[in-house]
Chains A and B, each alone.
Chain A
Amino acid sequence: GAGVSQSPRYKVAKRGQDVALRCDPISGHVSLFWYQQALGQGPEFLTYFQNEAQLDKSGLPSDRFFAERPEGSVSTLKIQRTQQEDSAVYLCASSLAVGGAIYEQYFGPGTRLTVT
Chain B
Amino acid sequence: AQSVTQLGSHVSVSEGALVLLRCNYSSSVPPYLFWYVQYPNQGLQLLLKYTTGATLVKGINGFEAEFKKSETSFHLTKPSAHMSDAAEYFCAVSMAGGTSYGKLTFGQGTILTVHP
Contacts and interface: CB of A to CB of B under 8 A. Distances in A.
- Whether both chains belong to one complex is answered with yes
Interface of A: 3-4, 31, 33, 35, 40-45, 48, 50, 55-56, 91, 93, 95, 98-110
A103 B51 CA distance: 10
A53 to B, nearest CB: 11
B100 A100 contact: yes
Interface of B: 4, 9, 32, 36, 41-46, 49, 51, 90, 92, 94-98, 100-109
Contacts of B42: 109
A18 B102 CA distance: 30
A104 B32 contact: no
A28 B93 CA distance: 25
Contact of A44 (B43, B94, B106): B106
10 contacts: A33-B103, A35-B106, A42-B107, A44-B106, A56-B101, A95-B102, A100-B97, A101-B104, A104-B46, A105-B46
A109 B95 contact: no
Contact of B43 (A99, A102, A110): A110
A107 B41 contact: no
A100 B96 contact: yes
Contacts of B95: 101
Majority-rule SS of B interface residues: loop
Contacts of B100: 100-101
Contact of A45 (B43, B44, B51, B104): B104
Given A45-B105, A56-B103, A91 B44 contact: yes
Contacts of B36: 107
A88 to B, nearest CB: 13
B32 A101 contact: yes
B102 A100 contact: yes
Contacts of A35: 104, 106
Contact of A31 (B46, B49, B102, B105): B102
A33 B106 CA distance: 14
B109 to A, nearest CB: 5
A105 B45 contact: no
